[in-house]
Structure 1
Amino acid sequence: MRLTRTLQSAAAVAALLAISACGSSDSGGSSASPGGNGFNPPDLKAQTELGKTEGQVNLVNWAGYVEDGSNDPKVDWVSDFQKQTGCKVNSKVAASSDEMVKLMKTGEYDAVSASGDASLRLIASGDAAPVNTDLVPNYKNVFDDLKLQPWNSIKGTAYGIPHGRGANLLMYNTKKVKPAPTSWSAVFDDAASYKGHVTAYDSPIYIADAALYLKNTKPELKITDPYALDQKQFDAAVDLLKKQNVNVGEYWSDYLKEISAFKSGDSVVGTTWQVIANIAESEGAKIKAFLPDEGATGWSDTWMLSAKAKHPNCAYKWMDWIISPKANAQVAEYFGEAPANSEACAETSEKGFCDTYHAGEAEYWKKVAFWRTPIEQCLDGRTDVKCVPYTKWVQAWTEIKG
């Protein structure tokens, strides 16, 4: 198993600041129309048919997404792809969304496993091409609430193939946190009860977690999208996090450190991922992780095709392969995420895997606000105010942590 959901840098959003708003969505499972409010990417056309495969495909990906057995002989979904298609896979692991965008701009890569902020930048810059989903047979079995979402489509045109998703959960020590929490209040308004033992995700995007909490507890702020905050809403979220800071024992980015902290009792409550909770519990930590009443933030990744792809036919073959039931099950289990293909659940080695990760639970994902990068043009569709761009989130995060 490999966890590499890397923190985003301030540089990762520079290209976004000049982009018009990318539509609105109140959650990952919403049916809001993406690409509204003046967002008009270059007029590129999707491929209409597949030609002869070119013999290779060059991929940019998160670590753990393209495994050929070299890291672990038991983990390999690339070798069979190469045998069946004749397309040799060349994989470049990227450490951040910023690196992914830079690499795709070179024109040397055919496809990328982009997270939400990178996907919109690639579309806006013309580096990503529309995708003809009819050329991806396994697309038909992708969960409906992953199709044509604000981070992978524009005005009904698909710009990628969904790969997988995950939620940012609340985890607590069942022996030391009583009564059992039901709300994010455990790490915000009630954090003083666990002073010095609260943990939080170490990234400016965590400001969205505070905004999501305020959306539910301070309706007078009128927050509709945790990634679209005007100055007043943003200041309220920052103030909440500054108050939280005095109770935080550690901000985490290394999953091993979070597991160790929960096992030792140094941390008793905070944000986590399902796969981290699974490992911690298997190693003896007395914990429970769940989606609180207010919902949560989360992430969803998309395989996108380069507009300059030199091997587009092999790239299409790869996109279809990686969401085929068996391969999608393999990568989901290895990485620790919910698969995109509904038929992958029957292929996982752990038969209860999809239940644990809520793979097909549409109502569950409606409560998850998937990561997107904030820009001045409010992502919730407002035009009468400017929203706080991510560069300001980065500055505020430094102040929050002191």
Structure 2
Amino acid sequence: MKNTALLAGLLAAGLVLTACGTTSSNTTATGGTAFTPPSLPALGKLGPGEGQLSVLAWPGYAENGANDPKVNWVTPFEQESGCKVNVKPFGTSDEAISLMKTGQYDVVSASGDASLRLIASGDIEPVNTSLVPNYADVFGFLKNQSWNSVGGVAYGIPHGWGANLLTWRSDKVSPAPTSWSTLFDPNSKYKGKITAYDSPIYIADAALYLKAHQPDLGIKNPYALDSTQFKAAVDLLKKQRPLVSEYWSDYLKESQALTSGDAVLGTAWQVTVNVTKAGNVPVESTVPAEGATGWSDTWMVATKSQHKNCAYLWMNYIISPKVNAQVAEYFGEAPANAKACAQTTDAKHCDTYHAGDSAYAAKIAYWTTPISQCLDGRTDVKCEDYGAWTQAWTEIKG
């Protein structure tokens, strides 16, 4: 048992990891370098449900009717499985990691900026995909990716995906923006009315912008930044800081800011756009010319879970065609299950969100935990890990 610099770098600042194994140069499906996680077994066979399940989820992923009586896919699961569900929503990936470390939760809907840290720390174990029949219908381009697998071993079940959109009040912003430059122009007429995502992973948005506008930096992957590339991204965000009125992590609060006019321009999730539009507020959104960062979320099983049979029943249920369609429409994302597209209320939902469009999906830079082994395949330099990103984010916000 020993610490490794690579695995430690996967953790948020202040967290400590002791793990078996050494670093590795295994290649993931997306071409990045991988690490050797703690050796943990996946569940061998499915047994009877244990009667209860504790779910840690992004808001909107495990609705039980409390927010809207018409939106409830937890109760049918309880009736079908006999597993009583307790849902705990979280607001950021860092919060999800902290909560998972308490050992109180059985499954988590992890985004790519959390999944590798959970795997490296041993808080998450591999999944036996053969015990999840609906996994067979998950779009192939979501499987065995760098944020949900290591060395060809699956650590979760894909749930849904989407882009981080450029969003604006169409009655207050003109002309309609087509580039992220509208968020980074130091002379922007929208100074003090711009909102941005509150997380160290937002550094990747700056890196993606620089990839297009400063090609001499040589950025290939916005999550694989050497010291020079990283400094450039951080400096850009420090220059952006005076333009930002608020950094958001709660999409409902961002929606309120757009509604009140305290913010008129920024980065947002599709669910933010949907909620705001539902309040008759004129907002529009786009994936700009430079592309966008985004998420591909994964249901993962806690190593310490005492309810793993219920956990597997939940994972198979939540990505079943009908339920995956319900969640995707409610949250505002592309479903993971190809058969879900025939179950959506809006017949055009999957077309709108490019659900089965692998070419479109390839344009999105999905959240992935930065590690010291450069995820773009470089071996002659070290990249800044998530600990450095976390420290820099504190400096950016001031």
- Give the TM-score normalised by the residue count of structure 1: 0.85
**Is the 1:55–1:86 Cα contact (8 Å) retained in structure 2?**
yes
**Is the 1:191–1:244 Cα contact (8 Å) retained in structure 2?**
no
- 377-386 or 187-196: which moved more? 187-196
Match of 2:118 in 1: 122
Structure 2 residue 369 is matched with structure 1 residue 373: yes
Distance 2:388 2:275 in 1: 35
Structure 2 residue 313 is matched with structure 1 residue 317: yes
Counterpart pick for 1:327 among 310, 323, 326 = 323
User: Aligned in 2, Cα 1:259/1:110: closer, same or farther, shift over 3 Å?
Assistant: closer
**Is the 2:191–2:243 Cα contact (8 Å) retained in structure 1?**
yes
Alpha-carbon shift at residue 113 of structure 1 (Å): 1.7
Distance 1:70 1:283 in 2: 20
Q: How many residues align?
A: 386
Distance 2:281 2:50 in 1: 50
Matches within 5 A, 1:260-279: 260-279=256-275
Structure 2 residue 146 is matched with structure 1 residue 145: no
Matches within 5 A, 1:205-284: 205-284=201-280
User: Aligned in 2, Cα 1:56/1:398: closer, same or farther, shift over 3 Å?
Assistant: closer
**Is the 2:193–2:264 Cα contact (8 Å) retained in structure 1?**
yes
Match of 1:361 in 2: 357
- 159-168 or 267-276: which moved more? 267-276
Match of 2:382 in 1: 386
Alpha-carbon shift at residue 108 of structure 1 (Å): 4.6
User: Aligned in 2, Cα 1:225/1:61: closer, same or farther, shift over 3 Å?
Assistant: same
Distance 2:95 2:277 in 1: 33
User: Aligned in 2, Cα 1:184/1:163: closer, same or farther, shift over 3 Å?
Assistant: same
Structure 2 residue 179 is matched with structure 1 residue 183: yes
1:221-264 deviation per Cα after TM superposition (whole angstroms, max 9, x unaligned): 11111112111111111222222233334433343443344445
SS in 1 for 2:326: helix
**Is the 1:138–1:324 Cα contact (8 Å) retained in structure 2?**
yes
Distance 1:169 1:337 in 2: 12
Alpha-carbon shift at residue 319 of structure 1 (Å): 0.8
Alpha-carbon shift at residue 282 of structure 1 (Å): 3.6
- Give the TM-score normalised by the residue count of structure 2: 0.85
1:65-118 deviation per Cα after TM superposition (whole angstroms, max 9, x unaligned): 223334432222122222222223233444543454344445554322222233
**Is the 1:170–1:289 Cα contact (8 Å) retained in structure 2?**
yes
SS in 1 for 2:184: coil
Unaligned runs of 5+ in 2: 1-10
1:364-398 deviation per Cα after TM superposition (whole angstroms, max 9, x unaligned): 22111111232333332333222223333333334
RMSD across aligned C-alpha pairs, in angstroms? 2.9
Match of 2:68 in 1: 72
1:189-213 deviation per Cα after TM superposition (whole angstroms, max 9, x unaligned): 4752433333322333221111001
Could you tell me which amino acid in structure 1 is paired with residue 296 of structure 2? S
Distance 1:261 1:98 in 2: 23
Distance 1:22 1:381 in 2: 9
Distance 1:266 1:79 in 2: 38
SS in 2 for 1:14: coil
Distance 1:228 1:79 in 2: 42
SS in 2 for 1:246: helix
Alpha-carbon shift at residue 123 of structure 1 (Å): 1.8
Alpha-carbon shift at residue 167 of structure 1 (Å): 1.2
1:28-52 deviation per Cα after TM superposition (whole angstroms, max 9, x unaligned): xxx4146x45x11133333343233
Unaligned runs of 5+ in 1: 1-9, 26-30
Residue identity (%): 62
Could you tell me which amino acid in structure 1 is paired with residue 81 of structure 2? T
Alpha-carbon shift at residue 15 of structure 1 (Å): 4.7
SS in 1 for 2:203: helix
SS in 1 for 2:277: helix
Match of 2:200 in 1: 204
Match of 1:14 in 2: 15
Distance 1:15 1:117 in 2: 17
SS in 1 for 2:164: strand
